[in-house]
Amino acid sequence: MNAIAQSFSLLLLGAALSGSLVWSCLAMAEPVPDAPTTAAADPHHADFRAYALFDKADFVQSESLLPPANTNWQSVALPDSWSIAKRDRRAGLGWYRFRFSHTGAQHDGKTAAQRAIYIPRITNNIEVFLNGSSFAVSGRLAPKPDNAWNRAQFFLVPPSLFKAGENELLIRLHTDGFPRAGISKVYLGDSDALNEFYQRRYLIQTTAPQIITGLLVMMSIFSLAIWARRRSEKMFLYFALMAVVAVIRLIHYYLRTTPDWLLLTAVPSLAWLTLFQMQFSFRFANFSVPRIESGLFIFCVISTIVLFIMPFAAPQFYGQTTMVVYLALTAASPFLLLALAYALTRQRSIENIILLTALILNGALGVHDTLAYQERLGFDRLYLLPLGLPMILFAVAALLVKRFVSTLSSYESLNADLARRVSERESQLQQSYERSRELDQQRATAEERQRLMRDMHDGIGSHLMSTLALARMGSLSHKDMTEVLADCIDELKLTIDSLEPVERDLLVVLGNLRYRLEPRLNAARISLEWAVNDLPPLTYLDPGNIRSVLRIVQEAFTNTLKHSGAKRITISTGIDRASSRVLVRITDDGVGVSPAFGNDMLGSNANKKPIDEKYAGRGIDNMKNRAAKLGGEVQLMALQGGGTCVNLYLPIG
């Protein structure tokens, strides 16, 4: 209810606007008499801007091309409409006579102003005579007449044709078969003053429709281009169609010569214009009433067919048919307007209101023009429908501007939003990265600590504990004590070395062990042969794994040093082709071992060296366990002819 009330009030507003527009147009074009307006008045007596307005004439219907003499003139009021006077327009020619007295002398061309004739409307052509001399035609005459029905006429009158006393102005009218033939009032007087009226009327009748045609063509192309890329927006298609139909309709208002086939489009184009205008407006408002649309579409199709056939089938009824079509459209327009008003006020935006106003205006202008066509508003009434079209263009332009601007600003705000979200996400990532790095660090530290603890526990810790136990029992010799302490320090050095990042280079690790152990080997008079070959980088060599490798090799050394009585140790490295593994081989020329190396040791040395017994036994197990953890293997072999061989296999990678 509320919506309808609002629609209604908007409708009223639109009506008021269009009414004022119509009024101002008419006011502009209508000459306001400021001088005696009777035919008897003498234009020569008035001031410079004076003119005479003829609202009466003598008329005779005659097929004579020359001024008819001694005929039966009848007085008629102007404007004179042949259809209202019920004359046979097919008769084709009629004569109008105007008489006025001229008191002044013969026009001398020096002192008096130039005279002119101004006729707001004729249908369709005229020839003008003054005192028997023809001096003007409105356009090409029969048999191929120009269209002059919507064209005001303005002729300069040759001054020499005036004479003193009674003057006679004759106008021969050609109906050219137009259904609404006739002539408006006739103005005679100062050419400047009349030219001004003529120019104003010409602007509204001809120039404005021409400009609007240009605009419509441009907008139509533009709109089609948009639709071609955005097929879902039917609005632009309908707008383009509407513009095209409007152009077809418009050219009839100003075209001087119209081909016959084009003449046929004059009335149907109005029906199509109404249809497309409605469809466009519904899409504009995101609304649709399919029943109305299809109903109007059917009406358009039928009326077009009928109007195309009629001139050939029954030309005498063409006028009535066009009237039926105009009346039908006029009758439908309030209802269409209401539906459109409802659709457009659902969402109140500036462009919707502009469009609605435009539609109301167009409706009002349509009604006006229909009334004008019916000659209810006077024969010389202006047709105003073309002037309503730019307002629709204005609405579309407003919509496009709004869309463009809002797209731009939403694009900008989207950018800003994206930037903000990116930076937010960045800082989140930064935070989580820092958290995880912290956690990683903590975990690494914990792991490292665990490894070191295990090392201390297995190595130096247990070493010191057992030494302490023995020392407490008083069963530890000075030499043993020195040795254990030296071992412990070696152990520490080994741990420190293992923390050096060697970048996967096993040779550096082994070399450093050699460097550490060499003084002790020298002291034991054991020579060392260093027969290493380059090795591929081992990616798994982190400090923990380095320590494991070092312990395994160190264990082999220790065993050799302490138990074998060897004089020579050889360390060699290389790739074991058979198993594709890195091989570290430590051989000595000592007493040799059985495969049960550790256990044998325990047996033979148990009594003499209790520390070593424990150390050696666990040492060999440790070697094997450590190698297994690295994904490798330790093999112990007795060599023929004495000596031991320890093979440490490590995976490549």
Partner 1 sequence: MTRVLIVEDDVAFRRRYAAILARDPAFEVVASVGTGGEGMAMLELRKPDVLLVDLGLPDISGISVIQHATKTLPTCESMVVTVFGDEEHVLASIEAGASGYLLKDASEENFLEGIRELIAGGSPISPIIARRLLKRFHADIDVPPSILPLERRAGVAETEADAAVGDSEIALSSREREILLLASKGFNYPEMGKLMGISPHTVTSHVKKIYRKLAVHSRGEAVFEANRMGLIRTL
User: What gap in Å lies between CA 364 and CA 388, rounded to an integer?
Assistant: 9
Quick check: 464 binds partner 1 (CB under 8 A)?
A: no
In whole angstroms, give the CA distance from residue 554 to residue 344: 93
Among residues 283, 278, 292, 295, which one has the least CA distance to residue 363?
A: 278
Instruction: Please identify, using beta-carbon distances, which residue of 434 and 518 lies nearer to partner 1.
Output: 518
Q: Quick check: 568 binds partner 1 (CB under 8 A)?
A: no
Q: Please check whether residue 201 is in contact with residue 152, taking contact to mean a CB–CB distance below 8 angstroms.
A: yes
Q: Which is nearer to partner 1, 38 or 539 (CB)?
A: 539
Residue 574 in contact with partner 1, rule: CB under 8 A: no
Between 127 and 491, whose beta carbon lies closer to partner 1? 491
Q: Measured from the CB of residue 530, what is the shortest distance to partner 1 in angstroms?
A: 6
Closer of 112 and 488 to partner 1 (Cβ): 488
Can you tell me which of 405, 489, 606, 628 binds partner 1, judged by CB under 8 A? 489
Single out the segment in contact with partner 1 by CB under 8 A; choices: 172-180, 224-232, 489-497, 614-622.
Answer: 489-497
> Under a CB-based contact definition with an 8 Å cutoff, are residues 212 and 384 in contact?
no
Q: Which residues contact 321 (CB under 8 A, 6 or more apart)?
A: 306, 307, 310
Does 530 bind partner 1 (CB under 8 A)? Our answer is: yes
> Is residue 587 within the footprint of partner 1 (CB under 8 A)?
no
Given the structure tokens 């520490």, which residue do they identify? 492
Per rule CB under 8 A, is residue 505 in the interface with partner 1? yes
Binder among 15, 156, 323, 508 for partner 1 (CB under 8 A): 508
Contact track, partner 1, 468-487, x by CB under 8 A: ------------------x-
Q: Which of 12, 211, 416, 523 binds partner 1 (CB under 8 A)?
A: 523
Judged by CB under 8 A, does residue 317 bind partner 1? no
On the question of a cis peptide bond just before residue 390, with omega within 30 degrees of 0, the verdict is no
CB 171, CB 78: distance < 8 Å? no
Options 502, 593, 646, 650; binder of partner 1; rule CB under 8 A:
502
Q: Which of 15, 508 has the CB closer to partner 1?
A: 508
Member of 56, 87, 163, 493 binding partner 1 (CB under 8 A) = 493
CB 596 → partner 1: shortest distance, Å? 31
| Contacting residue, 322, 512, 545, 647, with partner 1 by CB under 8 A | 512
Residue 636: CB minimum distance to partner 1, A: 23
CA distances from 338 to 4, 392, 510 (A): 8, 17, 98
Rule CB under 8 A: is residue 522 a binding residue for partner 1?
yes
Shortest spacing between CB 571 and partner 1, in angstroms? 8
Task: Please give the single-letter amino acid code of residue 308.
Answer: F
Residue with Cβ nearer partner 1 (217 or 508):
508
| Sole binder of partner 1 in the list 117, 186, 510, 650 (CB under 8 A) | 510
From the list 107-115, 188-196, 277-285, 515-523, the region that binds partner 1 by CB under 8 A is 515-523
Counting residues that bind partner 1 (by CB under 8 A) gives 27
The 8-class DSSP code of residue 461 comes to: I
Taking CB under 8 A as the criterion, the residue among 49, 56, 514, 624 binding partner 1 is 514
- Contact of 484 with 463, CB cutoff 8 Å: yes
Q: Please report, as residue ranges, which positions from 533 to 552 form the binding site for partner 1 (by CB under 8 A).
A: 534-535, 537
Residue 436 makes contact with partner 1 by CB under 8 A: no
CA 258 to CA 77: how far, in whole Å? 31
CB 548 within 8 A of CB 509: no
How are beta strands 527-531 and 568-576 bridged, if at all? parallel
Give whichever of 24 and 533 is closer to partner 1, judged by the CB atom: 533
Provide the minimum distance between the beta carbon of 634 and partner 1 in the complex, in angstroms, as a whole number.
20
- Can residue 515 be called a binding residue for partner 1 (CB under 8 A)? yes
How near is the Cβ of 500 to partner 1 at its closest, in Å? 5
Count of beta carbons in the 10 Å neighbourhood of residue 129: 19
| Long-range contacts formed by 44-50: CB under 8 A, 24+ apart | 44/102, 44/103, 44/104, 44/112, 45/103, 46/189, 48/113, 48/190, 49/190, 49/192, 49/193, 50/189, 50/190, 50/193
Contact between 576 and partner 1 per CB under 8 A: no
Stretch that binds partner 1, among 70-78, 166-174, 293-301, 514-522 (CB under 8 A): 514-522
If one asks whether residue 653 binds partner 1 (CB under 8 A), the answer comes out as: no
Minimum gap (Å) between residue 406 Cβ and partner 1:
57
Q: Which stretch binds partner 1 (CB under 8 A): 34-42, 439-447, 503-511, 583-591?
A: 503-511
Give burial (CB, 10 Å; 0-12/13-18/19+) of 124. buried
| Minimum distance of partner 1 from residue 649's CB (angstroms) | 20
- Pick from 99, 6, 48, 79: nearest CA to 376: 79
497 binds partner 1 (CB under 8 A): yes
Cβ proximity to partner 1: between 424 and 534 the closer is 534
CB of 597 to partner 1, least distance (A): 25
- Strand 122-123 relative to strand 165-174: parallel, antiparallel, unpaired? unpaired
* 155 Rama class: left (phi>0) / alpha (psi -120 to 50) / beta: beta
Backbone angles phi, psi at 46, to 5 degrees: -75, 175
The tokens for 386 are 């073309």
Stretch that binds partner 1, among 377-385, 452-460, 516-524, 639-647 (CB under 8 A): 516-524
Q: Does 496 bind partner 1 (CB under 8 A)?
A: yes
Kindly tell me which of 16 and 496 has the beta carbon lying closer to partner 1.
496
Element housing 384 (H / E): none
DSSP letter string over 118-137? EES-EESEEEEEETTEEEEE
**What angle is formed at CA 88 by the lines to CA 82 and CA 92, rounded to 5 degrees?**
85
CB of 535 to partner 1, least distance (A): 8
Asked whether position 492 contacts partner 1 by CB under 8 A, the answer is: yes
CA 61 and chain centroid, separation: 66
Among the listed residues 154, 103, 164, 155, the one whose alpha carbon sits nearest the alpha carbon of residue 131: 164
SS3 325: helix
The alpha carbon of residue 85 and the mean position of all alpha carbons in its chain are separated, in whole angstroms, by 61
The residues binding partner 1 (CB under 8 A) are 486, 489, 492-493, 496-497, 500, 502-503, 505, 507-508, 510-512, 514-516, 518-519, 522-523, 530, 532, 534-535, 537
